[in-house]
A = this chain, B = another copy of it.
Amino acid sequence: MIKLEKIKSTPIPTLKRLTRYLSVIHQLKESKTDYISSTEIANIMGLDPIQVRKDLEFTGISGFPRLGFKIDDLHFAIKEILNWNNTEDAFLVGAGSLGQAILGYDRFKSCGLKIIAGFDINPELIGKKISNIEIYHINKIPNLIKRLNVKIGIICVPASSAQDVVDLMVDNGILALWNFAPIHVNVPSDIIIENAQLSQSLGILTHKLAEKIKAY
């Protein structure tokens, strides 16, 4: 009987931890050490070393007994899983206060994301450059998505406009959406959507705090 090799894709919880390992590893790259063990990572982050090792399995990198993993290799391999060694162009819609903060944020470039244009409906913003990224009128977006073959859209418009903007982008060929509007938007099942729900994270915090205060 032939046993098919089950291709195990990286679980979401693992992906989330991998990005955190990356930031720890990134800090450590400065220091002189070449290796880091699962135990060390776990200690720094307050996790279980076994879990760290299990997660790192998905990188395909082998560790060395007594030494741990080669930092440079890990760093590269984790970025590879996240596809952060390549850079995808992206459009951002809604150049308001959050949109401008994101436009001005350099770090996403090392996270595989290059925002190449912004879009808005506010005439005062159109034509302006924010951190060297030009803002266009939203009606330019259909044409530009196709012409520049942009695959990622970032939604920073008010909740009330989010669905419309999403529809517009999806209709014109966007493949993945990063949504900051605090609302559920509908997309076809083949479109990737990630909600950067800040309120989700806030909800966990306020819930835990309430539990804690209740328990004295």
CB-CB under 8 A from A176, the residues of chain B are 205, 208-209, 212
Interface segment among A32-40, A120-128, A193-201: the answer is: A193-201
- Within the complex, the shortest CB–CB distance from A133 to chain B, in Å, comes to 14
Counting every copy of the chain, the complex holds 2
| Range class of the A interface residue count | 35 or more
Which residues of A (138-167) have their CB < 8 Å from a CB of B?
A: 151-152
A114 to chain B, nearest CB (A): 11
A31 on the B face (CB < 8 A): no
Segment 157-207 of A: residues with Cβ below 8 Å from B:
175-176, 178, 182-184, 186, 189, 192, 194-207
Kindly list chain B residues whose C-beta atoms are within 8 Å of the C-beta of A209: 83, 88, 151-152, 175-176, 192
Which A residues are closer than 8 A to B by beta carbons? 9-10, 12, 15-16, 18-20, 23-24, 27, 44-46, 81-84, 86, 88, 97-98, 100-101, 104-105, 107-108, 111-113, 151-152, 175-176, 178, 182-184, 186, 189, 192, 194-213
